[in-house]
Amino acid sequence: MAKRKKNHGKGKTVKKFYGMKGVILAAGKGTRLRPLTYGIPKPLLPVGGKPVIDFVIENLLQCREIDEIYVAVSHMADVIENYLVHTPRDHVKLETITTLGWETGGDLRAVVVEKDIEERMLVAYGDNVTNIDTQDMLEFHKKHNFLATVALFPVPWDEVERFGVAKVENNKIVLFQEKPRRSEAVSNLANAGYYILEPEVLKYIPYGKVKVEWSVFPELAKIGKLGGYIYKPDYWLDIGTLHAYRSANKMMEGILPPPE
């Protein structure tokens, strides 16, 4: 994303190029995963022998324009920071930002303000396991000139109540519902937990404890600026509960190679 910066010494205007920023929302306490999360923060719980946050980082790094990744943390923030410091990634800066755990919108706003982000962002939840071509998602987003793009994937109709779902027409999300009743759901295209946001989206996020799924996406859908990137992942696994976590590990058996 190009920005202009004035060179006052020479009286000229030059272009300065900034990379795209990645943001991982990982500030949840993981209360439904207790007692596991008494000792291990949710993003570091292993699935198939691999911390959940590693899946997320690898997906973000599929997007070649990302040069920095900020991780919003709260519960056991020092443990997550220590892990990231001792597990560096090539060609990208990783940094934790301590937030108040103010849901997806509040924590995102805190990161943007703290780091003075003025670039396009790729935002991801830090608690699911999937594979997604984020570079392809970015090309889709840029092609259609959306303010925000949400990654969507089809789920069985009897599972729609677990997700935010979207009605898509001509690549645009025209209606976004957060965890609707099955009888009221407009589709079975579920929120995958990956978003591309232009910096202008910040003005739609009120200060405080707020979810983008409730306050931002429906507003952007109304003005025709919310894209729906539909993909079919090889797997999409939530680890929000003990049952889901056990199921995720069982499903990944045979999919992932053993850790080195």
- Going through the chain in order, the beta strands assigned E by DSSP cover 2-7, 12-17, 20-25, 46-47, 50-51, 66-73, 93-98, 121-125, 128-130, 148-154, 164-169, 172-178, 189-197, 226-230, 236-238
Nearest to 86 by CA among 120, 54, 118, 116: 54
Q: DSSP for 108-153?
A: HHHHHHHHT--S-EEEEESSEEE---HHHHHHHHHHHT-SEEEEEE
Question: What amino acid is encoded at 128 in this protein?
Answer: N
Which residues, at least 6 apart from 169, have a Cβ–Cβ distance to it below 8 Å? none
Dihedral sign for Cα atoms in the order 41, 87, 113, 130: negative
Is the distance from CB of 66 to CB of 23 less than 8 angstroms? no
Is the distance from CB of 160 to CB of 188 less than 8 angstroms? yes
Active site (annotated) includes residue 179:
yes
> Among 3, 6, 179, 222, which one carries the catalytic annotation?
179
Please report how many Cα atoms fall inside a 13 Å half-sphere around the Cα of residue 72, on the Cβ side: 30
Instruction: Please give the positions annotated as active site.
Output: 179
